[in-house]
Amino acid sequence: MQSRHEPQTAREAGLLQCRTCGCLSHPPAQVSKRTIMRCPRCGARLHLHEHSNSIEITWALLIASALLYIPANTMPIMSVYMLGSGQPDTIISGVFHLLESGQWPLALVVFAASIVVPLLKLITLSFLLISIQRKSRWRQRDRLVLYKITEYVGRWSMVDVFVISILVGLVQFGNLARVEANAGSLSFAAVVVLTMFAARTLDEHLIWDISRKEEQH
């Protein structure tokens, strides 16, 4: 099959493709799992696909962030003290406060960034991993777009952490009004950071490469 057709992808041609600068290079004659290969142009690490542990690492990060998602949503993220009496806020109660004060567009933005996006990220990344592991050929281009969106929107979840930092920094009027950070904010930030790493470690080329291999059989 390969003698009749030009190789289609870098992988089929037996080439290493640098994920940082795009430079193509030939792998050395003998490669074991231990060999560390670097891009001849930019020096970034190169991996052979069969040695890639992208799926395992991504699963590990996903499971860790799924566990942290629970305290992130149940524990209070900050407390607002007005005239001495304090009231702890979770992420969802913060959204309700915005709704009560009639700020529904903003409530929607915070709801999307803090609750929907992290949850959707956990679901989409798991779906992508499972579909890669099942060597699925179903709608590869759409799955790549799904991956791109997931990778892009993740950082917007940090907005709640920033809001806490701004409120804590600004509202320090002693007994009159005071805002304090609570432990939920730490787990929430950890969820955002871990899912961002998970999206980064998932090698999106696997969506395409597996089907190519299957077609050749």
Nearest in space to 177 (alpha carbons), one of 186, 185, 167? 167
| Subset of residues 73 to 92 that bind another protein, contact rule: CB under 8 A | none
Q: Does 25 bind another protein (CB under 8 A)?
A: yes
- Closest to another protein by CB, 73 vs 185, is 185
Q: Does 2 bind another protein (CB under 8 A)?
A: no
- Closest to another protein by CB, 133 vs 172, is 172
Instruction: Find the binder of another protein among 40, 66, 71, 88 (CB under 8 A).
Output: 40
3-state secondary structure of 42: coil
Size of the site for another protein (CB under 8 A): 75
Instruction: Find the binder of another protein among 75, 99, 119, 168 (CB under 8 A).
Output: 168
Q: How many other C-beta atoms are found inside a 10 Å radius of the C-beta of residue 8?
A: 12
Q: Does 122 bind another protein (CB under 8 A)?
A: no
3-state secondary structure of 181: strand
Helix/strand/coil (H/E/C) assignment for every residue in 45-113: EECCHHHCCHHHHHHHHHHHHHHHHHHHHHCCCEEEEECCEEEEECHHHHHHHHHHCCCHHHHHHHHHH
- For 16, residues 6+ apart whose C-beta sits below 8 A from its C-beta are 10, 24, 25, 26, 27, 37, 39, 46, 48
| Subset of residues 126 to 165 that bind another protein, contact rule: CB under 8 A | 141, 144, 151, 154-156, 158-165
Q: Does 95 bind another protein (CB under 8 A)?
A: no
The alpha carbon torsion through 104, 159, 70, 148 (nearest 10 deg) reads 100
CA distances from 63 to 20, 60, 123, 132, 158 (A): 27, 5, 11, 17, 20
Q: Does 64 bind another protein (CB under 8 A)?
A: no
User: Residue 133 Cβ, how far from another protein at the closest point, in Å?
Assistant: 19
Q: Does 70 bind another protein (CB under 8 A)?
A: no
User: Residue 40 Cβ, how far from another protein at the closest point, in Å?
Assistant: 5
Q: Give CA–CA dist 208/136, Å, rounded.
A: 9
- Closest to another protein by CB, 62 vs 196, is 196
From the list 53-61, 62-70, 125-133, 182-190, the region that binds another protein by CB under 8 A is 182-190
- Closest to another protein by CB, 97 vs 137, is 97
From the list 51-59, 60-68, 121-129, 185-193, the region that binds another protein by CB under 8 A is 185-193
